[in-house]
Structure 1
């Protein structure tokens, strides 16, 4: 997809899971949303200016959920869907008041969901994920994208008692995947692959700001606010525009440089896996951006030769985050 970015659009809905809701889209909103393929839940912060006192009190007392959408005509979608954790009132000046809303995506399920079940002999990793997600259901998290997992059945029954997040973590490790919660859905993505879906093309014509840069953590890129940039999916970048990393000439850092060259390498066809995405802006200001950190789509396990040169992640794990 290569839709030009023109004509800002935003929507901020505050409400309950079912029932009344408030549309605050016409007010000035300053927002900061952090997303990643991390186990730690995504977060969103929204500062809404000059609400009526009665409306501010309703948000503080009645509502539990926030849904924020943004983008441009032709490229508009959900940037954050989560649960309100704190609402704070304040004043920026003698004339301007604000309401700060702090929210998280799936943190109640992450912190409180407990699995308490027994699976019969023959269960598979997919069954373990389903049991963990079932425990998360009462907290608003359901099972999302799941790749093809190993089908080797367990010869005996399996007792599952403990935090749902721990079972998701153990299953992800044994299946060479990373797991996270995205918009109320628990997803798993293979460490050496990605989620299927539309691939946005990021160029200067479609909103790229400045030039992408190769860093120790991956390829960093800044663009106009883009809801098509999804965690675990691909974006397309022209490699000719990437500013390459300068490696140290220090012999003692040679192993580190070689490792960075493997983990943050440039992809031959220009496709990159989105590992972290941060959306931030001001609906009445200049900021309206997305920052992303990406990895080459075909990054695999480091060669065995690197293990004798420097410390490396555990076997079958190549991403720094996840």
Structure 2
């Protein structure tokens, strides 16, 4: 099988770390395919990575719960697409190839965690105080917290039942969204500017023209480009094309790498 990485200078790196073993699978040495979805909701996304023709020894060392990072892009311009935990390993044959399929959860599924007893916050408590307490109770690592409106609760606030539901509610009261970004929890507004920006035009990898859409959740454009590792929820995307010229916020999409495609699909609003 011809390795397209040599031809197009593609980079794919899969790092896997366990308690007693870690390794790196490089796209220059193995045929690797992947699909990495991203979006702006609280449910962790499932990543799929396929590595071709691993030795039985390497497959035997893989185990559920290992940490996995997926990096991709091009020589001189690649980065992390996701960081998560390995949830399943399956090996099967396809013609002459033996394929090992890895399923990875990007983030943590804490939707079932509940408060052991009611937690009461005093009158006038600020949203940020509640959010930090909930994040701590959930055992999450919060890498970004930026609230457009640090709302006060004049009557106080009571936490009971599912903790994540309260986190989403309080963040929304404060004008922010709760989502996962490269395996890390982020609470911020998708409408607010970030320090990251991605310019998309024919010269920088835009494939075709962005397509306009309008639905119940908003309106914007769907676009496809050569793989852009910088594009994640909230990132500013600036188009220069026949159908769209302007700046938008990335809402969801996916990074896809296989033998024929090495692309990013994105929906912006």
TM-score by length of 2: 0.85
- Per-residue deviation, residues 185-208 of structure 1 (Å, max 9, x unmatched): 2222326x2341121111111111
Aligned residues: 254
Structure-2 change in CA distance of 1:149 and 1:124 (3 Å): farther
Is the CA contact 1:14–1:63 (under 8 Å) kept in the aligned structure 2? Answer: no
More strand by share: 2
**Corresponding residue for 2:261?**
287
Cα offset, 1:86, TM superposition = 1.2
Unaligned ranges ≥5, structure 1: 1-5, 243-265, 296-322
2:53 counterpart of 1:12: no
Q: Distance in 1 between matches of 2:90 and 2:124?
A: 51
User: Which structure 2 segments of 5+ residues have no match?
Assistant: 1-7
Q: How does 1:103-252 map to 2 (within 5 A)?
A: 103-109=104-110, 111-116=111-116, 117-137=119-139, 141-190=140-189, 193-217=191-215, 218-238=220-240, 240-242=241-243
CA RMSD of aligned residues (A): 2.2
After superposition, what is the alpha-carbon deviation per residue over 1:93-141, rounded to whole angstroms, capped at 9, x for unaligned?
Answer: 2x311111111122333x344345443444211112112211232xxx3
TM-fit CA distance, 1:166: 0.3
Give, in whole Å, the separation in 2 of the partners of 1:173 and 1:63.
Answer: 31
Q: Hey, what's the Cα distance between the residues in 1 that align with 2:56 and 2:89?
A: 13
Contact 2:147 2:187 in 1 (8 A): no
The 1:189/1:63 distance shift into structure 2, 3 A limit, reads closer
Scaled by the length of structure 1, the TM-score of the pair is 0.72
Deviations 1:27-73 (A, max 9, x none): 111101110112221221011111111111111x3652210001113
| Matched residue, 2:33 | 30
Larger radius of gyration: 1
The secondary structure found in structure 2 opposite 1:44 is strand
Q: Does the CA contact (< 8 Å) of 2:78 and 2:229 recur in 1?
A: yes
- 2:83 corresponds to which of 71, 81, 90: 81
CA contact (8 A) 2:12 2:73 kept: yes
Q: Which has the higher helix share?
A: 1
How big is the shift at 1:276?
0.8
Distance 1:228 1:162 in 2: 36
Q: Given the alignment, which residue of 246, 266, 269 partners 1:270?
A: 246
Query: Displacement of 1:177 after TM fit?
Result: 2.5
Describe the SS at the equivalent of 2:233: coil
Name 2:5's counterpart in structure 1: none
Residues 254-296 of structure 1 show CA distances to partners (whole Å, capped at 9, x for unaligned) of xxxxxxxxxxxx6xx60010001200112xx22100000101x
The 2-side partners of 1:30 and 1:157 are apart by 50
